[in-house]
Structure 1
């Protein structure tokens, strides 16, 4: 059986087994002034989803352990079919490759040819446009981007986070304080915004640039805590995190007059056909549930930055849901294109297969059919090409292994 379908089937089982909601029922008399009945129903539904989330996550972890245990046992006993044996060996090889890539990434032993010399920018200058829940989700999405980059064969050489400081993005700065971001390799953090980055890349001489004031003394360009000898044992409580903001210096490998900014926007007229290593792609760091129309497009136009959109419609024909992607999904699509040089494969690797169902009715009918097949065959089946990425209910790859990080909670916005 298809693993995405299995997840949907079992999620419905979790919902039915969870029992009645512990959330008090809200009557018409309790409805806040100005809130419609439909809005109240949506709020109750969201609260119920939040209540069920830990149960779903625990159930999915148990299913993964069970599947992996059965595969390992069958492989050791020689009872797997040739097809399942090939799947098991492929998964093990993918895991070995992922761990090897992560070691080289963390140790700084990647050669120039093993990194993609372009860059990606996460524009974090939208702190005041998000509510607290969206800020929390944004912190997780930033961490997912870092996690993805350190576990691929060919990582992006530099990820620049702009408008990140206690004054530029106060709430995001606070939320990120327990993420150990100052230890993330190949990650650059700027107090300055995209405007200043654009000026730095377009100027022929650093002396020609006037930046907004930044009281923090920056590190050498392109360096993070991982590059500082003897600082690996620092206690976070004793660190002034503002010292790890490196702007306005460009990270190593990005050159003024050579690299050009491209702001990614779903509203852009131009559609990307490929990625170029002399370009730096900007992703708007906002979780807005599509509230703000043309936000990134208008910002880029105001700053005179070229815009382009991902070729979603061209390569994903059967995607009935909205084509607004999360920050980490956009980042992962870029990252997968760099690995595979194929847009269709990149999209299909990142976007969950359940998004391709034509409707909820069709999805439930599809799940019912697969569940019936499972009962008849007594087998759960195994998907042949499972990407090395977490699903909705999975915890992400260990973002801060060994760095006393807090667990990253998966947000609904991830997919």
Structure 2
């Protein structure tokens, strides 16, 4: 039968209590310590002894773990034989796979810049934004580019009205690693200077026209505006000022409002609008596109088939 291991602290405390009950026969100890002081001293010694015992046990456990690990490693090396070579091959394969993936992405983006559907972000709204909103715009542009990189069929992207000496460009460089090397067209010229006016379709939620499809000879402009307290018709007025065509996403055509406490706003972030366009460009399906880009918190869901106009 196994016996319980003695607790050194308990033993010492029991000894102290026995001495106290017997009246402390050691005159030397009694002359220098009261009973309380003696108990405190003996308890301290018991704690020290207990810690030493625990440290010794922990050392033994560590030694045992090391022995087990060494035995396992020996067994593995014996089974694999050429384990180092196998690891080197795996590393080479991973590097090759990543290199091939990056090469494929670059090729797709370069092809898109030659013949892909054109999407432009108009970065000419800096005066309408505060510092916090400019930072959010820079983050959204980074997410937009990330989505385009991973698309099977990416867009040919333009950033217009982007001046290197102004806050938007500087913030994009600060928050987006490698921004200067993005495979897109960046220019300080406006979209009106960069494209023929007949090619431009300015996307705005305030337009009376609904976007039905993407025309290859058109360039679709997304207003680069982050507005924490939305200013109505800003992008629409900007487009109408220069007499260019406008359109809104077909949210009302394919989606309906959900009952609840929602604001039912059709104002989306730049990267959300881009995600909708990118999904539609790759699938040809507005339902998939809108589900991908319109957040549920906006209060919309896909319309049932029999309700769709």
User: Into which bin does the TM-score normalised by the smaller protein fall?
Assistant: 0.5 to 0.7
Correspondence list, 1:12-411, <5 A: 103-106=103-106, 108=107, 117-156=116-155, 158-167=156-165, 170-178=166-174, 179=176, 180-185=178-183, 187-198=184-195, 201=196, 260-318=199-257, 320=262, 321-356=264-299
Structure 1 unaligned spans of 5+: 1-97, 203-258, 359-415
Q: Residue deviations 1:229-250, cap 9 Å, x none?
A: xxxxxxxxxxxxxxxxxxxxxx
| Partner Cα distance (1:290, 1:303) in 2 | 25
Q: Say whether the 8 Å CA contact 1:268–1:309 is kept in structure 2.
A: yes
From the superposition, tell whether residues 116 and 339 of structure 1 become closer, same or farther in structure 2 (CA, over 3 Å). farther
Measured after TM superposition, the shift of residue 340 of structure 1 is 1.0
| RMSD, aligned CA | 2.7
- Determine the C-alpha separation between the residues in 1 that align with 2:163 and 2:226: 19
Q: Cα–Cα, structure 1 residues 317 and 154, in superposed 2: closer, same or farther, change >3 Å?
A: same
Q: Which runs of 5+ in 2 are unaligned?
A: 1-97, 302-309
Q: Which protein has the larger Cα radius of gyration, Structure 1 or Structure 2?
A: 2
Q: 1 or 2, which has the higher helix percentage?
A: 2
Q: What SS does the aligned partner of 1:145 have?
A: helix
- SS of aligned partner of 1:339: helix
Change in 2 beyond 3 A, CA 1:150/1:191: same
In structure 2, relative to structure 1, the CA distance for the partners of 1:295 and 1:355 (3 Å cut) is: closer
Structure 1: distance between partners of 2:241 and 2:108? 40
Tell me which residue corresponds to 2:64.
Answer: none
C-alpha deviation, 1:99, in angstroms? 10
Compute the TM-score of the two structures, normalised by the length of structure 2.
Answer: 0.58
Instruction: Say how many residue pairs are matched.
Output: 198
CA distance in 2, matches of 1:127, 1:282: 16
User: Higher relative contact order by CA 8 Å / sep ≥ 6: 1 or 2?
Assistant: 1
Using structure 1 for the length normalisation, give the TM-score. Answer: 0.44
